[in-house]
Structure 1
Amino acid sequence: MKTTYIKLSLSAVLLLGIYSCKKGEIVSTEYADQMTTDSAAVSVSDSISSVANMAVKDKQFIKTADVNMEVNDVYEATVSIEKSVQDLGGFVTRSSLRSNVISEGTYNTSNENAMMIKKFQTENSMQVRVPTGKLGELLSLINNKKLFLNSRIINAEDVTSDIKYAEMEGKRIKKTGENIEQLKANKDKVKLDNDNMAEGNLQQLANLDVTDQLKYSTVDIYIKEPKLRIAEIAVTNTSSMDNKYKFNFIYDAKNAFVEGFYLIQKIAVGLITIWPLLLILTAILYFLRKRKLARPESTKISGE
Structure 2
Amino acid sequence: MKTTYIQLSLSAVLLLGIYSCKKGEVASTDLEAYANTDSATAIVSDSVSSVATMKIKDKQFIKTADVNMEVKDVYEATVSIEKTVQDLGGFVTHSNLQSNVISEDTYNTSTDDAMLIKKYQTENTMQVRVPTEKLGELLVLINDKKLFLNSRTINAEDVTSNIKYAEMEGKRVKKTGENIDQLKANKDKVELDNDNMAEGNLQQLASMDTTDNIKYSTIDIYIKEPKLRIAEIAVTNTRNIDNKYKFNFIYDAKNAFVEGFYLIQKIAVGLITVWPLLLILAVVIYFLRKRKLTKLQTTKITE
- The aligned length equals 285
Instruction: Give the 5 Å matches for 1:122-141.
Output: 122-141=122-141
Structure 1 residue 147: Cα displacement: 1.0
Q: Distance in 2 between matches of 1:265 and 1:77?
A: 71
Specify the SS of the correspondent of 2:52: helix
* Structure 2 counterpart of 1:283: 283
Q: Greater relative contact order: 1 or 2 (C-alpha under 8 angstroms, separation 6 or more)?
A: 2
How far 1:19 moved relative to its partner?
6.2
> Residues 21-64 of structure 1: CA distance to partner in whole angstroms, max 9, x if unpaired?
xx96644532222x32xx32243432112211111111111111
CA distance in 2, matches of 1:261, 1:103: 49
* Counterpart-to-counterpart distance in 2, 1:222 and 1:91: 16
- Tell me by how many angstroms 1:284 deviates: 2.7
Assess, with a 3 A threshold, how the Cα gap between structure 1 residues 154 and 291 changes in structure 2: closer, same or farther.
Answer: closer
Identity %: 77
Gaps of 5+ in 1: 1-13
2:274 is matched with which residue? Answer: 274
The 2-side partners of 1:284 and 1:24 are apart by 106
Whether 2:34 is the aligned partner of 1:31: answer yes
Normalization by structure 2: what TM-score? 0.87
TM-score (norm 1): 0.87
2:238 alignment counterpart: 238
Contact persistence 2:63–2:214 (CA under 8 A): yes
CA distance in 2, matches of 1:289, 1:57: 119
1:92 shift after superposition: 0.2
- 1:202 matched residue in structure 2: 202
Secondary structure, aligned partner of 1:258: helix
Tell me the residue number matched to 1:263. Answer: 263
The alpha-carbon distance between structure 1 residues 170 and 287, as it changes in their structure 2 partners (threshold 3 A), is same
Give the Å deviation of 1:153: 1.2
Q: Are the counterparts in 2 of residues 24 and 167 from structure 1 also a CA contact under 8 Å?
A: no
1:128-277 correspondence runs (5 A): 128-277=128-277
Match in the other structure for 1:3: none
The CA deviation at 1:187 is: 2.2
Distance 2:221 2:299 in 1: 110
For residues 17 and 27 of structure 1, do their structure 2 counterparts lie closer, same or farther at Cα, with a shift above 3 Å needed? farther
Q: What is the CA-CA distance between 1:18 and the residue it aligns to?
A: 5.2
Could you tell me how far apart the structure 1 residues matched to 2:254 and 2:208 are?
79
**What is the aligned-residue RMSD (CA, Å)?**
2.2
Q: How far apart in 2 are the matches of 1:41 and 1:165?
A: 29
How far apart, CA to CA, are the structure 1 residues paired with 2:126 and 2:68?
Answer: 10
User: For residues 18 and 65 of structure 1, do their structure 2 counterparts lie closer, same or farther at Cα, with a shift above 3 Å needed?
Assistant: farther
Higher helix share: 1
Q: 2:196 is aligned with what amino acid? A: N
Which deviates the most, 294-303 or 226-235? Answer: 294-303
1:299 Cα shift? 5.9
**Aligned partners of 2:19 and 2:203 also within 8 Å:** no
